[in-house]
Structure 1
Amino acid sequence: MQINSFFSKRYALLLGFSGWFLLFSLLLRIVFLLWQLNDLDLSVFSLLKILGTGFLFDVGVLSFLFVISSLYILIIPQKWIGSTLDKIAIYFGFSLTLLIFVFTFFAEITFWEEFKCRFNFVAVDYLIYTFEVVQNIHESYPLYILIPSMLLITGFIFYYFWKKQFFNLTFSTKVSFKNRFITLLIAIVLMSFYIVFVTNSNAEWSKNRYNNEISKAGIYSFFAELRNNKLDFKTFYSSISDEEAFQIVRDNLQEENAKFLTNDFSIKRKIKDSLSSENKPNVVFILIESMSASFMSEFGNEEKITPFLDSISNQSLFFKNLYATGNRTVRGMEAVTLSIPPTPGQSIVKRPNNSNLYTISNVFKSKNYQCNFFYGGDGYFDNMNAFYGGNGFDIYDRGRGSILSDAIKTTRHNIDDKEVTFENAWGICDEDIYNKMIKVADEYHQKKKPFLNFVMTTSNHRPYTYPENKIDIPSGTGRNGAVKYSDYALQQMFAKAKNKPWFKNTIFVFVADHCASSAGKDEIDVKNYQIPAIIYGQNLIKPQEVTKLCSQIDVFPTLFGQLHWSYTSNFFGTNVLSNNYKERALIGTYLKLACKTNNNVMILSNQKNNSNYTWNSVSNHLKVVPMNKSKLNETIAWYQAADYLYLNAKLK
């Protein structure tokens, strides 16, 4: 009894902190439950499952804290307990840990507001790009309220523990070496259990995504994603033989004018157009940040926030049934540049060994084009400069001192201060980046050099700030304003380009990188992957509405078809207007990989659990249907073949 008493007193602060953490985690879970109440599949059983699973993960977080604390208690000599050194170490350690945990609770709320999920790989990425993230937080949230609130809460909790004598008990009690060693051993065993046997996937027990996300713990999710940002397809997903996978993919890619160049595991083929003469206009490609199809009147929006895109869509090749491959900018870049499905884990844009790949620049350069990439922020973010610089593009960005690797043989141009009228956390406003693009277009027109100008925009992103007095929605007031300004900037760019001598020989392509939000209660919220895609060329492109189901990966192959180009393709995308085109859309969420064909959606899980659904486009709901083996194998084939080509350097 005496040993137990001594034991508990020395660990009083640790146990008290654990109780506080479990209570606050429960309260946060309840906040999320109330937040998404209308979207949850809630019953007594599911509520108990959410809370029980959440408790399991909360204990997992504490197991790591117990190891660190128990190790300190073990190694400090008995005679130093309660000494000045002991007090400094414990006061500092407790205060810092408490502040970190309070900050985490605040961060989880803001992260949920943006992404409707616990910390995931996005949070891991944000840890790397501190400048953009800190600036974005500063511009998006009232830090003069948040920071004092966090410090006040931390101070109040600290005072409570001090007032209730937790510190005095910890400083006044000695525990035998045996008990300290046993405590540490138990903590290590518990932590090891979580490391080996408990993964974030264990929280995915429901078909309702919100049920699963609320079951998780933010801190545990963060470190789980830190460990699992690279996934081997065959290890984590259902697979078939490589022979079968490539046969299925090659059957889907077969066109009347395509001839495969080898018989091995490859999709490389020669596309031969029936016309002997090729058109070689300039191409201005705009990848628009977060431009959901649902923002446009053409897709039913009644707020009139995209008047330019709505007007030009009627004069263009307009894709009304096209889907993004993912929910992040790098996924959109990967899809349009490499024309490849989203491989599991990190985007290829952010992976090692991603230079000298076969991209759209290879096709353009074979036609003697100059390829330029424009970004209004620092292209170091998300590894954009390394990817585009390593794959045939000259770089124009707003660099803040970051440099390209010596291995990347390209030219980088910094956007000068005098060229900037407005800038926020993510970069210069869209009008400024378009002005820079037009200036470069003028230069290459003077040189009589056809160009591909690839622009990545930034204005349609939190904190939703842009130059004042441009539109009728005040800057910084929300997404609708950012969408309307993005559309306004496109209109201004187009108006300026019309006065240029190169305009009549230029094709403009507008495509979103992803939707403004991809979160929903289903495993994959299909509607939140639908994006607009527009190809405009005055007297160059015949206006047409394309209703075939297709993907971002098909945009450039379709453009090449419109230009009657013969070229070598190593792309998974095909010409949507081809007679042999087979409708499908490939979409993913980093861990979930899906293939949509008509209203059927097959989803592969990293636990090798696969689900087959029908999708109701009106209710935007997935309904489970019996497994279709043929569709399952086709879905596996797309992703397995893409993963194989990357891992075996066959995208080079």
Structure 2
Amino acid sequence: MYLQKIKPFLTLGIFYLIVSFLLRLVFVFHPITTDHFSIGDILKVASIGLVNDIFVFTLASSFLAIYFLFLSNGKYENPFGKIILGLFVLAFLYVWLTPNNIFKQYGGSVIEIVLIFLGLKTILFALMLFSPKNRLKIRNSLYFITLFIYVLLIIFNAVSEYFFYNEFGVRYNFIAVDYLIYTNEVIGNIMESYPIVPLFSTIFIITALATWFIYKKTKDTLIDLPNFKQKIVLLFIFIILATISTFVIPKISYEKGNTFEKEIAANGMVKFYEAFTNNTLDFFKFYPTIDESLAEKNVLSALGINSLNRKVTSDIQPEVHKNVVLISIESLSADFLKLYGNKDGITPFLDSLSQQSLVFTNLYATGNRTVRGLEALTLCIPPTAGESIIKRENENKNKFTTGSVFKSKGYTTKFLYGGYSYFDNMKDFFGGNGYQIVDRDNFKPEEITFANVWGVCDEDMAKKAISEMNKDAKTGKPFFHHWMTVSNHRPYTYPDGKIDISPTSKSRNGGVKYTDYALKKFFEMAAKQDWYKNTVFVIVADHCASSAGKTELPMDKYRIPGMIFAPDFIKPEKFRTVVSQIDLMPTLFGLLHFNYDSKFLGQDVFSKNYVPRAYIATYQDLGFVKDNYLTVISPTKKIKQYQLFQKENKDQIQEYNIYYTENLVSDIARKDLEEQTISSFQATSYWLKEKKLNK
């Protein structure tokens, strides 16, 4: 008897489990999944995933349970039906006519949504009350719509997860939360990247067919509704199951698997919830720690200094106040360049420029997002747990930055961005740290020849940058301009006829090659300006194009190109030692012979105290690279250490071979590196918390 009553839950649940299983299979065989799965691995992942999905669906079916709880014929009998209808009418009038009701106080579209909901409920209840013979038809229609919404969400989530995995090689994480916040850019990106009409048409057709099948199998449930006693029993059972699910879901994991196994076994909605509720992580609560004074002492000793706030002095004088243009390039992995073995010829200009520049051949990005790259280049500190400092509105202002060093020397400082800088909180961060901001809002219509959702094309931004640099050069003051490119980003659209890869292909190679083309045009225009010979150009990626790999922090997904170009000033050479992204600007200050007060944790790589190491991180895994070891600390106080071995590549010179085998060390082999890792991230987190990294 009870089995018949829960038939909709069982049928819909089985559909959800089938979709989730098929999605996991797609992930297993997806090209981005570089690990090999045996039949046994697939069965393990599928089994853990099945348990995950059952408990998640139990919680997700809460709305369906509430819907069935209020299905009743008795409520339409006299006098209950007219009383309930009267209450609906009064509620509608209250929301509509009361000047300062609770819903109007929320502002936005809340009031309209509530009015539509109450209006529909009132009309439908009235129809079912006064037209008993049509009651079942109306109820069936509403039931079909309810099922349709559930099925649509299941399919739409599966499609969304596929595209997210296709881009990042993981389930939902912080980036998905950001995408939910920045809906304009994200929806625009989707519209421009994918064939939306065929895609959504297919989704709706599959949804309609699946809904009709489930509806036909379960609609008889609405003829003989549960009585009051049966509802109480079913509700009690559901509450118990939902409570169990709430406690069990956080404990389900695949601890022994590699990153791909863990991600594929996980449930996307759980991952999204975890990211949404943990966008900031308290280092001292979730990570391994040591005595704070020892952590600080270790970090300062490694830098060869006695105090965080110290005076940096150059052995060579006088200072050189050349203009500085820092170009951080969107998603430019090292393996896009010919230097690192790329044979597609997609960076011809950067390849040629590298022959005339100081090139850091062993440079590592701190993270896998633009805000991490901007943080490293601006604050010159290791990454911290949780979201980038740039996005922490209560912590991101009045910081000691590269811009503040330049301003102390009389420079004009600007941040140039072809998109709207409110995205990723860049406007708040750079504006709150004394930078002038030039973004899409500053473009006149005639200055834009091509744009997509991320901003004007890099060529248009290059022209705007030249205009801004000419303007600042006329003041007689040196200038520091930080330009962040945008074109090498999905949907990889750009003006037609510029390169030999059609923009209709919407390919990563096309995006890379167009940005390279735009940079070439920028330097051609710059070379014609009076200020050109008195300018130092720093070109570096913000992060790599992808972060997916077998381990938490795959080394090849953090290797980026970086170079400093200044004819007749910076000698072309290859700096082959390990360098962190946070070292780039302190190194530049050393080349300019600057004397300045510093709070940077990045180092001048040419100083006598330089110790090669790098920091690489996600929003929760924090890695320290030194002496061919990668030590990783993670939430719940986990510590892992990997020994790094370069993979054999006969076609590539060893120093440009970016691929490593990361062998997990069963017992921490280098305890000194474990302590250095904890010290670096702990001290940085402490100094940030205590505002010691402020100006």
| TM-score where L is the length of structure 2 | 0.86
2:564 maps to: 535
Aligned-pair CA distance for 1:75: 4.1
- Match of residue 253, structure 2, among 198, 203, 208: 203
**Residues 1:183 and 1:642: Cα distance change in structure 2 (over 3 Å):** farther
2:605 maps to: 576
1:26 maps to: 21
1:492 matches 2:521: yes
Structure 1 window deviating more from structure 2 (287-296 vs 116-125): it is 116-125
2:586 maps to: 557
Aligned 8 A contact 1:80 1:86 in 2? no
Distance across 2 between alignment mates of 1:86 and 1:639 = 58
1:180 matches 2:221: no
Structure 1 window deviating more from structure 2 (136-145 vs 178-187): it is 178-187
Please give the secondary structure, in 1, of the residue aligned with 2:20. helix
Aligned 8 A contact 1:522 1:621 in 2? no
Aligned 8 A contact 1:527 1:617 in 2? no
Distance across 2 between alignment mates of 1:193 and 1:245 = 41
- Match of residue 107, structure 1, among 142, 160, 164: 160
1:589 maps to: 618
Aligned-pair CA distance for 1:79: 2.2
1:518 matches 2:547: yes
1:301 matches 2:301: no
Aligned 8 A contact 1:74 1:177 in 2? no
Aligned-pair CA distance for 1:580: 1.1
Aligned 8 A contact 2:56 2:245 in 1? no
Aligned 8 A contact 1:108 1:218 in 2? yes
Please give the secondary structure, in 2, of the residue aligned with 1:603. strand
- Match of residue 351, structure 1, among 388, 392, 397: 392
Structure 1 window deviating more from structure 2 (604-613 vs 510-519): it is 604-613
Structure 1 window deviating more from structure 2 (179-188 vs 500-509): it is 179-188
**Residues 1:416 and 1:523: Cα distance change in structure 2 (over 3 Å):** same
- Match of residue 50, structure 1, among 24, 45, 50: 45
Matching residue's letter, 1:369 = Y
Please give the secondary structure, in 2, of the residue aligned with 1:198. helix
Distance across 1 between alignment mates of 2:344 and 2:303 = 40
Aligned-pair CA distance for 1:537: 1.1
**Residues 1:470 and 1:44: Cα distance change in structure 2 (over 3 Å):** closer
**Residues 1:274 and 1:191: Cα distance change in structure 2 (over 3 Å):** farther
| TM-score where L is the length of structure 1 | 0.92
1:620 maps to: 660
Could you list the runs of 5+ residues in structure 1 that have no partner in the other structure? 261-266, 400-413
Aligned-pair CA distance for 1:634: 0.7
| Identical-pair percentage | 41
1:447 matches 2:493: no
1:231 maps to: 281
**Deviation string for 1:105-142 (max 9, x for gaps)?**
11111111111111111111101111111111111111
**Deviation string for 1:374-415 (max 9, x for gaps)?**
11111111111111111111111114xxxxxxxxxxxxxx22
1:144 matches 2:173: no
Aligned 8 A contact 1:41 1:211 in 2? no
2:351 maps to: 310
2:383 maps to: 342
How do 1:405-484 residues align onto structure 2 when only pairs under 5 Å count? Answer: 414-477=442-505, 478-484=507-513
**Residues 1:19 and 1:519: Cα distance change in structure 2 (over 3 Å):** same
Distance across 1 between alignment mates of 2:302 and 2:577 = 15
2:635 maps to: 606
- Match of residue 55, structure 2, among 44, 57, 60: 60
**Residues 1:525 and 1:279: Cα distance change in structure 2 (over 3 Å):** same
- Match of residue 220, structure 2, among 168, 177, 181: 168
**Residues 1:93 and 1:38: Cα distance change in structure 2 (over 3 Å):** closer
Aligned-pair CA distance for 1:32: 1.4
**Residues 1:98 and 1:243: Cα distance change in structure 2 (over 3 Å):** same
1:286 matches 2:327: yes
Aligned 8 A contact 2:172 2:269 in 1? yes
* Structure index of larger Rg: 2
1:629 maps to: 671
Matching residue's letter, 2:16 = F
- Match of residue 12, structure 1, among 7, 17, 23: 7
1:382 maps to: 424
**Residues 1:519 and 1:452: Cα distance change in structure 2 (over 3 Å):** same
Aligned-pair CA distance for 1:646: 2.0
**Residues 1:359 and 1:216: Cα distance change in structure 2 (over 3 Å):** same
Distance across 1 between alignment mates of 2:32 and 2:446 = 50
**Residues 1:192 and 1:239: Cα distance change in structure 2 (over 3 Å):** farther
**Deviation string for 1:299-343 (max 9, x for gaps)?**
111222111111111221110000000111011011111111111
Distance across 2 between alignment mates of 1:259 and 1:542 = 32
Please give the secondary structure, in 1, of the residue aligned with 2:24. helix
Distance across 2 between alignment mates of 1:17 and 1:142 = 29
Aligned 8 A contact 1:517 1:528 in 2? yes
Aligned-pair CA distance for 1:37: 9.4
Distance across 1 between alignment mates of 2:230 and 2:687 = 55
| Number of residue pairs matched by the alignment | 621
- Match of residue 157, structure 1, among 210, 233, 236: 210
Structure 1 window deviating more from structure 2 (148-157 vs 473-482): it is 473-482
Distance across 2 between alignment mates of 1:37 and 1:640 = 33
Matching residue's letter, 1:168 = D
- Match of residue 271, structure 1, among 312, 318, 335: 312
Structure 1 window deviating more from structure 2 (509-518 vs 604-613): it is 604-613
Aligned 8 A contact 2:359 2:575 in 1? yes
**Residues 1:20 and 1:598: Cα distance change in structure 2 (over 3 Å):** same
Cα root mean square deviation, aligned: 1.9
Distance across 2 between alignment mates of 1:202 and 1:175 = 34
Distance across 2 between alignment mates of 1:87 and 1:649 = 61
Structure 1 window deviating more from structure 2 (201-210 vs 344-353): it is 201-210
Distance across 1 between alignment mates of 2:254 and 2:391 = 26
Matching residue's letter, 1:219 = M
Distance across 1 between alignment mates of 2:591 and 2:172 = 43
Aligned 8 A contact 1:10 1:175 in 2? yes
Matching residue's letter, 2:279 = N
Aligned 8 A contact 2:27 2:33 in 1? no
Matching residue's letter, 1:363 = V
Distance across 1 between alignment mates of 2:183 and 2:517 = 30
Please give the secondary structure, in 2, of the residue aligned with 1:622. strand
Distance across 1 between alignment mates of 2:227 and 2:291 = 59
Matching residue's letter, 1:533 = G
Matching residue's letter, 1:198 = I
Aligned-pair CA distance for 1:159: 1.4
Distance across 2 between alignment mates of 1:544 and 1:259 = 32
Distance across 2 between alignment mates of 1:397 and 1:286 = 15
**Residues 1:39 and 1:445: Cα distance change in structure 2 (over 3 Å):** closer
Aligned-pair CA distance for 1:556: 0.4
Could you list the runs of 5+ residues in structure 2 that have no partner in the other structure? 77-134, 648-658
Aligned 8 A contact 2:338 2:347 in 1? yes
Distance across 1 between alignment mates of 2:55 and 2:137 = 32
Aligned-pair CA distance for 1:575: 0.4
Aligned 8 A contact 1:10 1:172 in 2? no
**Deviation string for 1:444-463 (max 9, x for gaps)?**
11111211111110111111
